[in-house]
Amino acid sequence: MTSPSTPSPAPQAASIDMLGYGFALTGAALFSTKGIFIKLAFAEGASTEIVLALRMLVALPVYLVILLVLLRRNPQTRALLTPRRLLASMAVGSLGYYLSSYLDFAGLAFVSAQYERLVLFTYPFFVLLFGVWFFGDRMNWRLMPAMLVTYGGLLVIFAWNLTMRPDGLFIGTALVLGSALTFAFYQHLARRQMLVIGSGLFTCIGMSTAAVLAIGQSLLADGPAAYGELSNHVWFYGLMLGIFGTVLPSFLLNTGIARIGARATSSTASLGPVVTIVLAVFILGEEFTWIHAIGTALVLFGSSWFARQESRAARAGK
């Protein structure tokens, strides 16, 4: 990294910024394929437990290798990883990578991929509220109009679904909201673990623990024999979900954060729902009416407004 007192040449800085945004945008787009692959696997008759386990079967070896490399290269890291911190990281990782993921996957069995993505897109609001309620953060009331606009957009799409596609809507919405709630709570707990042992080590421990839980749940719920009955399509969708919906975007987003910062990377997240909507319409054949367009526009506008206001407040607080 270049020190503040030694400015980089302008062309090089611009190139690095563009590359960083490219990594972040690509990562956000790839993460948005998750719901599409899950829906395709469900259409082949795969259960929620099996689809989540297939995702983790692909991701687990990658994170275990990275975990071993981190521990071998950094002796100081091993010293930081006391049994208490290890158990805490495993528990927090299970909350964010296992429970939150399971609720999301289960919700997708009842609602459309594009609606699921928009509901999940509201988790930063829960991060704010949990910070105020449980972690001593100060409430920023200037963020409330943006929250109201976003949830107004969700209500527009919810009302359309309630009229046209009511089956499973309430339970599906509750499950996806549960995913957003648990992931928001996870964000606060994870931040505290990362400050102690680092983001890379924490992520590997949390993801590996979640993978073991998901695979174990599937073996108990479906039995080992169920894997022999899966079609080639389901195995393919699980592979794509693990690579393009999990591992690859996680590395791309981390690289984007390293180059352009967390706030700039988060500003690219609005691409996610757009990609999901396009893929859901053309691959899954989901409907997208003018009502969906209005609701989606409100959600994206409100979420972007929220992000700008929060970033402005963070800068003012420095």
pLDDT digit string (tens) for 130-169? 888 888 778 778 888 888 888 888 889 889 988 888 888 9
pLDDT recorded at residue 4 = 41
Say how far apart CA 161 and CA 169 lie, in whole Å.
Answer: 7
Which region among 81-85, 133-137, 208-212, 289-293 has the lowest average model confidence (pLDDT)?
Answer: 133-137
| pLDDT tier, 3 (very low <50, low <70, confident <90, very high otherwise) | very low
Pull the structure tokens for residue 199.
């983001």
What is the identity of the amino acid at 316?
A: A
Sign of CA dihedral 221, 226, 231, 236: positive
- pTM, two decimal places: 0.85
Q: Which two tokens stand for residue 260?
A: 């352009």
The Cα–Cα gap between 135 and 293 comes to 36
Mean pLDDT within 109-126: 88
DSSP string, 73-123: H-HHHHHH--HHHHHHHHHHHIIIIIIHHHHHHHHHTTS-HHHHHHHHTTH
Backbone φ, ψ for residue 251 (5° rounding): -70, -40
Q: CA-CA distance, 54 to 237, in Å (whole number)?
A: 9
Give 3-state DSSP helix, strand, coil % of the chain, rounded to 5. Answer: 85, 0, 15
What would the 3-class secondary structure string for 208-257 be?
Answer: HHHHHHHHHHHHHHHCCHHHHCCCHHHHHHHHHHHHHHHHHHHHHHHHHH
pLDDT of residue 271: 77
d(CA 49, CA 91): 20
Average of per-residue pLDDT across 301-309? 79
Write the pLDDT tens digit of every residue in 221-231. 999 999 999 99
Which residue type occupies 128? L
Burial 135-154 (b: 16+ CB within 10 A, else e): eeeeebeebeebbebbbebb
CA 111, 37, 94, 227 dihedral sign is positive
